A and B are shown apart, each in its own frame.
Chain A
Amino acid sequence: MKARQKRFGFLLVGLAGLGLAAWLLLSALDSNLSYFFSPSEVAENKAPVDHVYRLGGLVESGSLQRGQELTVRFVITDNAHKVDVAYTGILPDLFQEGRGVIAQGRMGSDGVFVADQVLAKHDENYMPPEVAEALQKSHVEGISAMQKL
């Protein structure tokens, strides 16, 4: 075996070991690396009860209520479970019903999540308005066609 083949072998073994170490580390950290908890995880009591965490999901359509001054209430859902959220402050531009959102705060004793920060989560879709309209239209047409059947 030539010296260079030996070095190549060392390199491969080293990289494989490193990859394995990284994999073990990441799988040990697992959910600790997640930025937020989903409403289902809250329902399963996986989220911390006594301190601040982030809650992520979709703003349920029709759930947004504007209260006094800047206080708003809405419901975060992951289509399986729901959490009521109260927030006082300015909402980001992309905040919309039916869209992704991440709220940071703590769970109140009454089961309402009191947020001190609300971030809008954007999805990976980028398209011109015409396309979005056409998609929406065909979506609605598709539903009505389904209902006729």
Chain B
Amino acid sequence: MSARSISWFRFSSPATFYHLAGKMVPWFSAIAVILIGVGLYMSLFVAPTDYKQGEGYRIIFVHVPAAWMSMFIYVVMALWSGIGLVFNTRLSAMMAQALAPTGAMFTFLALWTGALWGKPMWGTWWVWDARLTSELILLFLYIGFIALQGAIDDNRRADRAGAILALVGVVNVPIIYYSVTWWNTLHQGASVSISKGSSMGEVMLITMLIMTFGFWAYAIAVSLSRVRSIILERDRETTWVSELPEMQVQ
């Protein structure tokens, strides 16, 4: 073991992580603003018109990254919940709690932009096919997680109940992802996949990836600053919080 190896358990203390998160938030915020700014410019002005859908397809630059993030954040949330259950670390549950609203927001964004795209392209706002329905269930899982955690006053019990719900719900994520290959759906198959590569124009793909990384940085920045608030709220009785410079109000 080298002398420089980091003791990761040190960061599972809310007091340590509070400061670390505080240092990381501005960086990720800046990255998010730059990437989303560049991404939106490319989406609207640089990316070429689609050969069949014309200009209307440009909504996928928000839709697809949002849908990816909605699934990815859920997996991360379930992972934190699992770590919290196994190691009994308080911070893990706080991370899961901090991620949930952002995940719910991205899920809603994916559903909403999908509806806006569906009306002109398919001819309908909404259909009950496997992809759309499973994504809607994901939104309900996020809302259920937030509600369940908020409904129980005792933090430990709230964390445990939320963690179990998050872990049970994780079976839905592969269902969403593979719904378009397992069943006949109105929703088209994946344009970009790890196994098959991409069936999009190059500039379109790059734009979509930039937007994805932008959303990623946004999600990190927002959930880190949210977890700081949660730490302060839960540890408000402790001395380390009362000694923080930002707590010294005249």
Interface of A is mostly: mixed
Q: Which residues of B contact A19 (CB under 8 A)?
A: 171
For B60, what are the chain A residues with a Cβ–Cβ distance below 8 Å? 126
- Identity of the chain B residue whose Cβ is nearest the Cβ of A21 in the assembled complex: B171
B91 at the interface (CB under 8 A from A): no
Q: Is A43 an interface residue, CB under 8 A from the partner?
A: no
Segment from B26-34, B95-103, B117-125, B149-157 that makes contact with A: B117-125
Q: Check: B191 CB closer than 8 A to any chain A CB.
A: yes
By size class, the interface of chain B is 35 or more
Decide yes or no: A120 and B184 within 8 Å by CB, A126-B200, A127-B50 being known contacts.
no
The answer to whether A127 and B122 touch across the interface, beta carbons within 8 angstroms, is no
Convert B145-189 into 0s and 1s, putting 1 for each residue whose CB lies closer than 8 angstroms to a CB of A: 000000000000000000000011011000100000011111011
Contact check, B122 vs A120: say whether CB atoms are below 8 A apart: yes
| Complex Cα–Cα for A34 and B123 (A) | 19
B184 in contact with A94 (CB, 8 Å): no
* Residues in B31-72 with C-beta less than 8 Å from chain A: 48-53, 57, 60
Known interface pairs A26-B175, A35-B130, A124-B190. Does A92 touch B122 (Cβ–Cβ under 8 Å)?
yes
Question: Residue A119 at the B interface, CB < 8 A?
Answer: yes
- Whether a CB of chain A sits under 8 angstroms from the CB of B245 is no
* A13 adjacent to chain B (CB < 8 Å): no
Instruction: Give a binary string over B76-87; 1 marks a CB under 8 Å from any A CB, 0 the rest.
Output: 000000100111
Q: Which residues on A are within 8 Å of B, measured CB to CB?
A: 4, 7-8, 11, 14-15, 18-19, 22, 26, 31, 33-38, 56, 91-95, 102, 117-133
Which 6 residue pairs are nearest across A and B when measured between Cβ atoms? A92-B123, A128-B48, A132-B51, A35-B129, A34-B184, A129-B51
